[in-house]
């Protein structure tokens, strides 16, 4: 007699594993991502152009943030002395993530820790000025 393999179980295993991964990802998104309290709240900012400074690995990082009634209109890196790679590349990546997520609560880019922190510090300092608290 030949033993039969349970083929339907093998086909369901990848689906089950994918479902488990999704369940582990959802709490992280809820705590600080899509619905977190760290989102940039457009209504709390005064429209205008604001500059902020943060400390990078090689020196100060300066940014300019333009706020409109609808939120962040523009974000520009004015000056820095970071290396092209990974420092400046990491700052450009974070700039895009700020527009995509609407948050400065982002992960630091590996290999560009000081540049990433300095850039996010500069953006947050500009947003503090835009909120009227600084």
Q: List the domain boundaries for the chain.
A: 43-130
Pick the CATH number of 43-130 from 3.40.50, 3.30.1890, 3.90.1010, 1.10.3470: 3.90.1010
pLDDT tens-digit profile of 29-51? 443 333 333 445 444 889 999 99
Token readout for 60 is: 């100060």
Helices (H) and strands (E) in the chain — how many of each?
Answer: 3, 3
pLDDT tens-digit profile of 40-92? 544 488 999 999 999 999 999 999 999 988 788 999 999 999 999 999 999 99
pLDDT of residue 8 exceeding 90: no
Strand order in the sheet with 60-68: 48-55, 60-68, 71-79
pTM: 0.69
Contact 76, 98 (CB under 8 A): no
Confidence of residue 3 (pLDDT cuts 50, 70, 90): very low
pLDDT at 102: 80
pLDDT at 34: 35
Give the number of other Cβ atoms within 10 Å of residue 103's Cβ: 16
Count the helix, strand and coil residues of the chain and give each as a percent rounded to the nearest 5. 50, 20, 30
- 47 Cβ neighbours under 8 A, 6+ residues apart: 67, 68, 69
pLDDT tens-digit profile of 101-129? 888 999 999 999 999 999 999 999 999 99
């Amino acid at each position: 007699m030949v033993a039969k393999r349970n083929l339907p179980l093998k086909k369901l295993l990848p689906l089950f594993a994918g479902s488990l991964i999704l369940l582990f990802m959802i709490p992280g998104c809820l705590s600080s991502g899509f619905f977190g309290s760290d989102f940039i709240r457009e209504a709390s900012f005064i429209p205008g152009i604001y500059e902020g400074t943060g400390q990078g690995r090689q020196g100060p990082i300066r940014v300019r943030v333009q706020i409109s009634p609808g939120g962040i209109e523009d974000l520009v890196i004015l000056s820095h002395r970071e290396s092209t790679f990974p420092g400046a590349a990491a700052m450009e990546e974070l700039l895009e993530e700020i527009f995509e997520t609407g948050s400065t609560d982002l992960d630091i880019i590996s290999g560009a820790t000081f540049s990433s922190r300095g850039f996010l510090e500069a953006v947050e300092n500009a947003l503090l000025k835009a909120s009227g608290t600084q």
